[in-house]
């Protein structure tokens, strides 16, 4: 039981979660480029809501500040307006310059942090110390609100943290103890924020790899299904459609025509032909030569069909069917005569043929008409015409006219 379970586990398909990621998260160049593009696309979808939220925060902060110290707003409104403009710039980047979205978000965080450090030094009111805590919020919004990648968030966060420390210890009115508390708080919060962002991005990359692996599995499965379908409906010797495939395709064509489906032909012609005296050819030259003869003959109609609705099928033995969609009887007869002449001009020797000294074919032609509503009926009519062509001496074309009578054409 354990050995069977181990075997099943060994045979299971990879799902992407078992792929190892390096500690620095960077993938091979092509995968990394694809991941960053996907990351930017996902982040861009969040930007409109994030921008609205940030603008609301600016408005609320300005309102609180105006309530506490109206005179302070005379200094702060211009820097806050600049922060709002930069935030709107990120929104525009998400719409029109996606490749610049990551640096735009990083720049916005630097501007927001810098503005509030400046206000902490310039504005004098009871809540001015709160400005020195805003740089942490600027760091937090990088990964949680605007979804910047870690390789942008890390240097930006360190730059903000360094600028805050320099200003707190070198230019602010705070004591060293107060400056140390704010710096330590911001540093600890920054480490936790970056730690969470690291593992969030790691999960995103793992999910990205899982999707890529699943896509590869689907592509391989689709290719395998197409190969199996082709093998199931293709004659292995001649490359023509086999009998099963012919029945399906011809029935579908008739069904679409009768229901006037989009792209369906308005008429269908069926040409049924076989190689004259093919048994004698096999008896004289051998079955291997007979197979080569079948392949050479099949190549002629295969090269002549052009439209998507047209196809050549091996009906059985030395018999073949050509289906021509959107073809009337007159055009089908022209096609049949050209095919007969081309096969005769192949000049494949057949010394025991009673109609010629080379390989020839006889063809029966039938077209859809009133009362012909099934593939079986259409094939039956073509077979009746073929019987008459062979009875008239072979190496010729016969057809079923609209009135149901059979007419043999003289080559």
pLDDT tens series, the chain, 411 aa: 444 444 444 445 455 555 667 777 887 888 888 888 888 888 888 889 988 998 998 899 889 888 888 888 888 889 889 999 999 998 998 888 888 888 999 999 999 999 999 988 888 877 788 889 889 888 888 877 888 888 888 999 999 999 999 999 998 888 999 999 999 999 998 899 888 888 888 888 888 888 877 777 677 777 666 666 655 678 889 989 998 889 988 998 888 888 877 777 888 999 999 999 999 999 999 999 999 999 999 999 999 998 888 999 999 899 999 999 988 999 999 999 999 999 999 999 999 998 889 999 999 999 987 667 788 999 999 999 999 999 999 999 999 998 889 999 876
Measured distance CA(240)–CA(299) in Å, rounded: 9
Cα-based distances in Å from 10 to 4, 6, 21, 241: 10, 6, 21, 39
Q: Residues 64, 70, 76, 82: is their CA dihedral positive or negative?
A: positive
Q: How far is CA 153 from the centre of its chain?
A: 32
Helices (H), 176-242: 176-233
Q: In the chain, what is the straight-line distance between the N-terminal and C-terminal CA atoms, in Å?
A: 73
pTM (predicted TM-score): 0.52
Distance CA 235, CA 223 (A): 19
CA pseudo-torsion sign 334, 340, 342, 345: negative
Measured CA to CA, the distance from residue 66 to residue 403 in angstroms comes to: 97
Q: Which residues have CB under 8 Å from 78's CB, separation 6+?
A: none
Q: How far is CA 68 from the centre of its chain?
A: 58
Task: Copy the structure tokens of residue 376.
Answer: 């079986």
For residues 260 and 330, what is the distance between their CA atoms, to the nearest angstrom?
22
What SS3 state is found at 323?
Answer: strand
What token pair was written down for 364? 């029966």
Q: Are 127 and 61 in contact (CB under 8 A)?
A: no
CB atoms inside a 10 Å sphere around CB 194: 17
Q: How far is CA 113 from the centre of its chain?
A: 43
CB of 297 closer than 8 Å to CB of 319: no
- Residue 2 CB neighbour total at 10 angstroms: 6
Q: CA–CA separation, 81 vs 83, rounded Å?
A: 5
Q: Going from the N-terminus, what domains does the chain have, and what CATH number goes with each?
A: 13-215 (no CATH), 243-409 (3.30.70.270)
Give the span between the Cα atoms of 359 and 261, in whole angstroms. Answer: 41
- What pLDDT is recorded for position 224? 65
Pick the catalytic residue from 32, 37, 229, 318.
318
pLDDT of residue 403: 83
Alpha helices in 234-306 (DSSP H): 243-258, 278-285, 287-304
Residue that the structure tokens 């890529």 belong to: 212
Q: What is the pLDDT of residue 1?
A: 44
Per-residue pLDDT at 358: 94
Say how far apart CA 230 and CA 341 lie, in whole Å. Answer: 30
376: annotated active-site residue = no
H or E stretch covering 74:
helix 73-96
Two tokens at 310? 């047209």
Report the distance separating Cα 353 and Cα 108, nearest Å: 89
Hey, what are 289's tokens? 């030569």
């Amino acid at each position: 039981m354990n050995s069977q379970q181990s075997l099943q586990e060994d045979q299971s398909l990879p799902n992407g979660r078992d792929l190892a990621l390096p500690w620095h998260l960077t993938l091979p160049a092509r995968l990394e480029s694809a991941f960053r593009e996907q990351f930017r696309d996902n982040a861009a979808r969040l930007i409109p809501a994030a921008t609205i939220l940030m603008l609301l925060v600016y408005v609320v902060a300005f309102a609180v500040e105006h309530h506490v110290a109206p005179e302070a707003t005379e200094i702060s409104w211009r820097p806050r307006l600049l922060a709002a403009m930069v935030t709107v710039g990120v929104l525009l980047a998400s719409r029109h310059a996606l490749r610049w979205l990551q640096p735009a978000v990083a720049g916005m965080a630097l501007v927001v942090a810098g503005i509030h450090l400046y206000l902490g030094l310039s504005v004098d009111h009871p809540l001015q110390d709160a400005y020195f805590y805003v740089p942490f919020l600027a760091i937090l919004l990088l990964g949680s609100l605007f979804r910047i990648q870690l390789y942008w968030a890390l240097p930006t966060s360190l730059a903000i943290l360094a600028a805050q420390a320099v200003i707190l210890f070198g230019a602010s009115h705070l004591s060293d103890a107060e400056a140390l508390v704010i710096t330590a708080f911001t540093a600890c919060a920054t480490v936790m924020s970056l730690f969470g962002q690291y593992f969030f991005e790691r999960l995103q990359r793992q999910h990205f790899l899982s999707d890529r692996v699943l896509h590869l599995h689907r592509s391989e499965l689709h290719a395998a299904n197409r190969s199996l379908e082709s093998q199931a409906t293709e004659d292995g010797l001649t490359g023509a459609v086999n009998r099963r495939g012919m029945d399906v395709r011809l029935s579908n064509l008739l069904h679409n025509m009768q229901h006037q489906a989009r792209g369906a032909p308005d008429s269908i012609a069926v040409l049924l032909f076989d190689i004259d005296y093919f048994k004698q050819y096999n008896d004289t030259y051998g079955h291997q030569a007979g197979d080569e003869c079948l392949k050479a003959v099949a190549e002629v109609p295969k090269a002549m069909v052009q439209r998507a609705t047209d196809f050549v099928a091996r009906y059985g033995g030395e018999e073949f069917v050509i289906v021509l969609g959107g073809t009337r009887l007159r055009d089908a007869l022209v096609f049949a005569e050209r095919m007969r002449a081309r096969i005769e001009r192949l000049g494949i020797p057949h010394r025991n043929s009673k109609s010629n000294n080379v390989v020839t074919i006889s063809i029966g032609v039938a077209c859809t008409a009133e009362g012909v509503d099934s593939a079986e009926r259409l094939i039956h009519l073509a077979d009746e015409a073929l019987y008459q062509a062979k009875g008239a001496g072979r190496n010729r074309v016969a057809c079923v006219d609209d009135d149901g009578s059979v007419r043999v054409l003289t080559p």
